[in-house]
Structure 1
Amino acid sequence: MSKALNIDLNLIRLFCVLYQTRSVKETADKLHLSQSACSHALQRLRESLNDDVFVRVGNVMLPTEYSKTVADDMLKGLDLITKGIESKVQFSPHERHVFRIAVTDYTSWCMSSFISSVSRDYPNIKIELHQLEERLPEQALREGTLDLVCGFAHEFEHFESFSNKVWFEDEYVCARCRSHPLKGEFDLDAFLHYSHILVTPWNEVRGILDITLSKMKKRRQVAVKSPSVLSAPTFLIGTSYLLAMPRKYATYISDVLPINVSPLPIDVPNYQVKLYWHKTRDKDKKINWIIDKLSDS
């Protein structure tokens, strides 16, 4: 194999600068080298290319015929490499962009103010919300068919391939029909006396409330399982069911439906609505922009 195929990129830079300056001293200054180091590098370049490359005539380093032949390609090649290394994908929210975000029904509802602000301030931005079929669609994030996932968790998480950020944190409350026998606040025994609605976005066997109860050697009776936080409160109307649900949505829906809301009679970990993206996009300006905008909404 030719030595030229294994040539050090720094020697290519030396060639290009020396071709332009015709001076070892100026070349050394531009490359932040001593003149001695520059001379040694020139010797390595000559050995790699099997040519004198530059010949000193007086105080000027003149290119050989070989150097004149390859100079244009070398200069263009170095310029392309430099631009490739230094270039960063530019992002402007005022240009046309599509964001593909996987959401649950609840986390999509939480985006209403964000969607409104994007519509008002960035009319060229298009948002596609996709149903979150699994807790973390790794392949879609890795391949870029999804930009972001907006899901939830109850504790700190660490992933080898994914980054995440807490968008906001909230607590669970208990909702029930206004005609329900339970009035005001109540104790755990009363809470467990009635049947419950369990929301399981991914068809889980149990939720965080059940996990908490199991640590106390207790359990509740589940009468209805639903994948939807948004529709679950409608199942309370005319029943004696209880529903543990996010306070944020409970506050809103209690002004729409005839339901009452009160604290849970048990300490349950708060939920965190979180944003997830692939680590290869940590410095992606497009991802950084939408995360910042969601955080501000």
Structure 2
Amino acid sequence: MNYIHQKTVMDLRLFHGIDINLYPLFVAIFEQKSISKAAKILSITQSAASHALQRLRQHLQDDLFVRAGAKMQPTPFAEQIYPDIKRALFTIQSISIQHQDFEPSMVQSLRIAVHDEIEPMILPKIVAHFQQLNLDIQFSSMKLDRKSIVTDLATQQVDFVIDLEQNLNDKIQFETLVQDQFVVCTQQPEVTEKSYLASPHIGVSSRRTGVLIEDLYLHRKKLSRQIFLRCQHYSTALQILQLHPTAMLTLPRNVLNHLNVDEKLKIFDVPVKLPNIHLGMYWHRDLESNKRHVFLRNEINFIFA
């Protein structure tokens, strides 16, 4: 590992030998897994990008990327330093544009991490809104990984995470976009608290294990239900409901509104009082005053106000 990245006390004399321009190239190659794509993003030739990468390899004394088929895969050292480099570059960028005039046309991309089931509720409205503003934005909706929310926001892999409210660390901000409530879907003609707790239930979660949020609320009331099947998608659960006359599915009403529900299935309020669901957006606190980010947050809030 290079001495520059080991030293904890800043020695300003060392910066004379550092070419800062090499680090955006590192980030671009890391994220694109391609020298040619990175060169295109940075508006340089592929030859120039290859020569710059070679200089950075010599400077950091590591290969950084190795070719695996058509992709450039990062070395363990590159994996280690990527978050710090991305964070440092973002800090420099924020300082540089702090006093510049901001125009919405400067926004070129919007990257959101969102759960599969929530995406149909969120993404079409966001795309439609920004298209009405005549902004040329490249939209990216990425699969949500709840274990990496803090890292993804801190390293600017995504601009926002849109998910149910939960406690993260103090550097992550949250704002509610939509309040929702649970409903019950079943073939049964009526749903009472007794029948709800006694019936077989389908649970939906993308996680392999762990308590479902509705069960967490039930446990707080010292109540429990029987989960006879756990699957990944509500659409799958609704199909299975058609095969089980006594089974029940508990899900957010707004999610249900975006799904195809067979006519034999009925919808009821949950007979046990459960808290409202808060669906909203997360972002990193370091972006609180960033003009681009403030603009995007305000527009997204406007969509769901």
Same structural fold, with TM-score higher than 0.5 when normalized by the shorter chain: yes
Of residues 139, 148, 156, the one that matches 1:127 is: 139
Matched, 1:147 2:147: no
Matched, 1:108 2:113: no
Q: Tell me the alpha carbon deviations over residues 7-61 of structure 1, each in whole angstroms, 9 at most, x when there is no partner.
A: xxxxxxxxxxxxxxxxxxxxxxxxxxxxxxxxxxxxxxxxxxxxxxxxxxxxxxx
Q: Which residue of the partner structure matches residue 50 of structure 2?
A: none
Cα shift at 1:231: 4.2
Cα shift at 1:98: 1.0
Q: Which residue of the partner structure matches residue 237 of structure 1?
A: 242
User: Partner amino acid for 2:169?
Assistant: F
Q: Indicate the SS of the match to 1:139.
A: helix
Q: Distance in 1 between matches of 2:296 and 2:110?
A: 8
Cα shift at 1:267: 0.8
Q: Tell me the alpha carbon deviations over residues 141-160 of structure 1, each in whole angstroms, 9 at most, x when there is no partner.
A: 11111111001026xx4732
For residues 295 and 133 of structure 1, do their structure 2 counterparts lie closer, same or farther at Cα, with a shift above 3 Å needed? same
User: Partner amino acid for 1:88?
Assistant: H
Q: Distance in 2 between matches of 1:97 and 1:85?
A: 18
For residues 204 and 288 of structure 1, do their structure 2 counterparts lie closer, same or farther at Cα, with a shift above 3 Å needed? farther
Q: CA RMSD in A?
A: 2.6
Query: How many residues of Structure 1 are paired with residues of Structure 2 in the alignment?
Result: 208
Q: Distance in 2 between matches of 1:261 and 1:145?
A: 39
Q: Which structure 2 residue ranges, 5 or more long, are not aligned?
A: 1-94
User: Partner amino acid for 1:209?
Assistant: E
For residues 257 and 293 of structure 1, do their structure 2 counterparts lie closer, same or farther at Cα, with a shift above 3 Å needed? farther
Matched, 1:172 2:177: no
Asked if 2 retains the 8 angstrom alpha-carbon contact of 1:198 and 1:224, the reply is yes
For residues 85 and 98 of structure 1, do their structure 2 counterparts lie closer, same or farther at Cα, with a shift above 3 Å needed? closer
Q: Distance in 1 between matches of 2:114 and 2:280?
A: 10
Matched, 1:93 2:99: no
User: Partner amino acid for 2:281?
Assistant: L
Q: Which residue of the partner structure matches residue 265 of structure 2?
A: 259
Q: Tell me the alpha carbon deviations over residues 248-297 of structure 1, each in whole angstroms, 9 at most, x when there is no partner.
A: 12234366765321100101111111111111101112222222222222
Q: Distance in 1 between matches of 2:98 and 2:196?
A: 60
Cα shift at 1:92: 2.8
For residues 284 and 231 of structure 1, do their structure 2 counterparts lie closer, same or farther at Cα, with a shift above 3 Å needed? farther
Cα shift at 1:90: 4.5
Q: Distance in 2 between matches of 1:197 and 1:136?
A: 27
Which has the larger Rg? 1
- More moved, 131-140 vs 259-268: 131-140
The normalised TM-score by structure 1 is: 0.62
User: Partner amino acid for 1:131?
Assistant: K
Q: Which residue of the partner structure matches residue 210 of structure 1?
A: 215
Q: Tell me the alpha carbon deviations over residues 203-232 of structure 1, each in whole angstroms, 9 at most, x when there is no partner.
A: 342222212332343321112212334543
Name the % identity. Answer: 17
Q: Which structure 1 residue ranges, 5 or more long, are not aligned?
A: 1-83
1:164-203 correspondence to structure 2 within 5 Å = 164-176=174-186, 180=187, 182-184=188-190, 186-203=191-208
Q: Distance in 1 between matches of 2:176 and 2:234?
A: 20
Cα shift at 1:194: 1.9
4+ long deviations beyond 6 Å: none
Q: Distance in 1 between matches of 2:114 and 2:211?
A: 20
Asked if 1 retains the 8 angstrom alpha-carbon contact of 2:150 and 2:168, the reply is no
